[in-house]
Structure 1
Amino acid sequence: MVNSDEDVLAIFSSRWSTTFIPSVYTVVFLVSLPCNVIAIIIFLFRTTKTPSVVFMLNLAISDVLFVILLPFNIAYRFLGNDWVIGEGMCQFITVAFYSNMYCSILLMTGISVDRFLAVVYPMQSLLWRRVSRAWITCFFIWVVSIAGAVPLFTINLTVRIDQLNITTCYDMLDIKHMDFYLYYFITFISIVFLLSFLILTFCYIVTIRTLSSSKIESTVKKSRSVSLCITVLFEYIFCFGPTNILLLIYCLTFDKSFVYFAYMLSVSCSSISCCVDPAIYYFGSSKYKKLVHSLVCCGEYKAVSMRDSSSRATGKGTLA
């Protein structure tokens, strides 16, 4: 995606791209994979299926599918940005990355809407908050996320740089034949990212305001729901925000190499979202929280269980 030879040499020879980025990916792989696999097992076999559990289960699956492909990107960066396994794999890995990112964004939006309905309209939403409808929504999210990235299969994503004796993957593109790609991608990013951000922000502002009222007396449930709202907003703003904003800026300018370099760094940092998602499961599912406590700190687990039991006995709100 970079035009100037000097800029190319500087970016692809930089230790930021050959050391920092793959190091971040390596940490994400080592931390995220076991955490999300454990989450999938808990959601499948140890929890009662609710709409929120369905959304979190799909989010964990999305993260696992993403991190198991990270070793390809790790090897690519550590090899000096040299892609050695062909055009087809480059396209597949790139499509998988964008599909995961937008699938995660849409699933987090689904979680926010579900939490909004459960807190603000606990009784009225019982008719809408069905497990079957949550599965249908998740299926639609997967279809939209994958379809949004599929056009990348129509573009040649690998480019040879003779000066460095490397072949790049998605880091350089022929801009002569990319008018459709640019318009499509800008439209897709705007709809998925910006619209989701507006929905998510609205839902959590109203949710937090409702939790601050006297309608819900359970302190434990209030704290858990507020923590969930803050965690999702943090992940959305700091993990996905810079990546999508920089990508929009780059698509509109397309000749600013420093913007793309910043985008490369932000992409690696956005992968940290896979490590943040287990915190969403922790605050979003009381059963997941209890099982984690039982694995990590058995002493605290008993105290938490007693507090939760007391809260269920006195709490009037419904935050499931």
Structure 2
Amino acid sequence: MADLVQGLLICLMAVQTIQHDGNRTWTNTTASSAAIPKTFRGKTSKSNHTGQLPWLNVNLEDPVTAYSTGLLSTWVIPCSYILAMLVGIPSNAYILVSLRLRAKSLSTVVLYLNLALSDLLLLLSLALRVHYHFNRINWIFGEISCRLITALFYGNVYCSAQTIACISLKRYLAVVRPFFYRSLSKTTLTVWTCLIVWFLFTAAIVPELLVRQSYYVTQLDVTTCHDVLPLDDESHYPLVPYRLMLVFMGFIVPFLICIYTHVAVVYHLRQSGCDWRPFIRVSSLVFTIFVVCYLPSGLLHIAHYIRLFSYGDDRLYGYYRVAVCLCCFHSCLDPFLCLLMSKTAASELQFISLQRPAVRM
């Protein structure tokens, strides 16, 4: 699995390198002006002749120029979004309608419906971004829609990861701590868990809604949405602690939870003396897809932040945008994974019942 993730990262870097050949890194920057992740760095123009939209200046040799006109941004990313939407929107809508009839546990239904709703909102937010990328990152839908789409996109990426971590934790309790799991009020606990996840989602999107996201880039003659921000301005500096918290709560914590719970579940099932291979295969498949889809974007996000903070180099942003496409593919795969996991819910109950006599003895 490590080789697979490494191979994906190498492929992403190879594609982006074609566009950035000959570009050079920013050298004269300060830590405060480069500490905003996920975006290219622009500078606010002192003169604004339009009277409507703030201007930004960029160096034509910077990576943003190659990104805005290159094959990666104008074809690879939007085509990936279209594919994810074609598969994910109808399948997640089907899950929302039919899962209640398939799952045996109400708590399981609540978690999977929460995941399907988050994925559906993420995929729906891609529609305007497809036009944006086909239009050479030229946003024509206004500032309000830009803020809303940006907030929904990133908020739901992390909301999905947190929900998957909750599902993994539920399985861990059912298999590794079965008697404690039986003593819980599972439906009530699950509802509160989902409410907390959506509270974190709301907290995650509010800062994105409070700052301007769209700017007219004079040298490129386009209006960008979130991709180029005036990182030297004080208006965007408060996003630094917010983005750090978002990476920690939205990626690192769910990822660590998924790793620990998966390893613990597989270990206990193998020690039980029964044949749980179908259950282990499904659990391992879900975990592998989660790692492949979320690990590249998480690592590149952190690496991009470090390079911005240390050197003012923003060229990793293009790699990050490609890696985020994998998160969108995870959203369109979640409905099929939900069906597989709901079929193994009976195995959890069976495992709990098999553990009961051992304790009574």
TM over 0.5: yes
Aligned partner of 1:29 in structure 2 is 85
Aligned partner of 2:255 in structure 1 is 197
Aligned partner of 1:239 in structure 2 is 293
> 1:11-30 maps to which residues of 2 (within 5 A)?
11-30=67-86
Q: 1:53 aligns with which of 92, 109, 122?
A: 109
Measure how far apart 1:316 and its partner are.
4.7
Q: 2:280 aligns with which of 220, 226, 238?
A: 226
> 1:240-255 maps to which residues of 2 (within 5 A)?
240-254=294-308, 255=312
Q: 1:269 aligns with which of 307, 314, 326?
A: 326
What percentage of residue pairs aligned between the two structures are identical? Answer: 27
Distance in 2 between the 1:277 and 1:68 partners? 15
Q: 2:338 aligns with which of 273, 281, 284?
A: 281
TM-score, normalised via structure 2 length: 0.75
8 Å Cα contact 1:94/1:170 also seen in 2? yes
8 Å Cα contact 1:231/1:279 also seen in 2? no
Distance in 2 between the 1:227 and 1:143 partners? 33
Distance in 1 between the 2:259 and 2:103 partners? 28
1:16-66 deviation digits (Å, cap 9, x = unpaired): 100010000000000011111111111234544432222111101111111
Measure how far apart 1:197 and its partner are.
1.6
Question: Are positions 1:160 and 2:213 aligned together?
Answer: no
Corresponding letter in the other structure for 2:220: L
Corresponding letter in the other structure for 1:271: C
8 Å Cα contact 1:51/1:114 also seen in 2? no
Aligned partner of 1:317 in structure 2 is 351
Distance in 2 between the 1:129 and 1:5 partners? 59
Structure (1/2) with the larger helix percentage: 1
Which stretches in structure 1 are left out of the alignment for 5+ residues? 289-307
The 10-residue stretch of structure 1 (256-265 or 3-12) with the greater mean CA deviation from structure 2: 3-12
Measure how far apart 1:277 and its partner are.
0.8
8 Å Cα contact 1:225/1:283 also seen in 2? no
* SS of equivalent residue, structure 1 residue 159: strand
Give the aligned length: 292
Aligned partner of 2:264 in structure 1 is 206
Cα 1:180–1:116 change in 2 (3 A) is same
Measure how far apart 1:257 and its partner are.
3.1
Question: Are positions 1:62 and 2:118 aligned together?
Answer: yes
Q: Which has the higher contact order (CA 8 A, sep 6+)?
A: 2
Distance in 2 between the 1:316 and 1:243 partners? 37
Distance in 1 between the 2:352 and 2:174 partners? 6
Distance in 2 between the 1:61 and 1:232 partners? 19
Supply the RMSD in Å over aligned alpha carbons.
2.3
Question: Are positions 1:5 and 2:5 aligned together?
Answer: no
Measure how far apart 1:282 and its partner are.
2.3
Q: 2:246 aligns with which of 188, 195, 201?
A: 188
1:129-163 deviation digits (Å, cap 9, x = unpaired): 51121011111101112212211112211121223
Distance in 2 between the 1:274 and 1:225 partners? 22
Distance in 1 between the 2:89 and 2:277 partners? 28
Measure how far apart 1:213 and its partner are.
2.0
* SS of equivalent residue, structure 2 residue 351: coil
* SS of equivalent residue, structure 2 residue 224: strand
Aligned partner of 1:95 in structure 2 is 151
8 Å Cα contact 1:186/1:251 also seen in 2? no
* SS of equivalent residue, structure 1 residue 85: coil
Measure how far apart 1:114 and its partner are.
0.4
* SS of equivalent residue, structure 2 residue 76: helix
Measure how far apart 1:224 and its partner are.
4.3
Cα 1:47–1:187 change in 2 (3 A) is closer
Cα 1:79–1:113 change in 2 (3 A) is same
8 Å Cα contact 2:118/2:156 also seen in 1? yes
Distance in 2 between the 1:147 and 1:44 partners? 29
Corresponding letter in the other structure for 1:245: L
8 Å Cα contact 1:182/1:251 also seen in 2? no
Corresponding letter in the other structure for 2:316: V
Measure how far apart 1:236 and its partner are.
2.8
TM-score, normalised via structure 1 length: 0.84
Distance in 2 between the 1:161 and 1:57 partners? 41
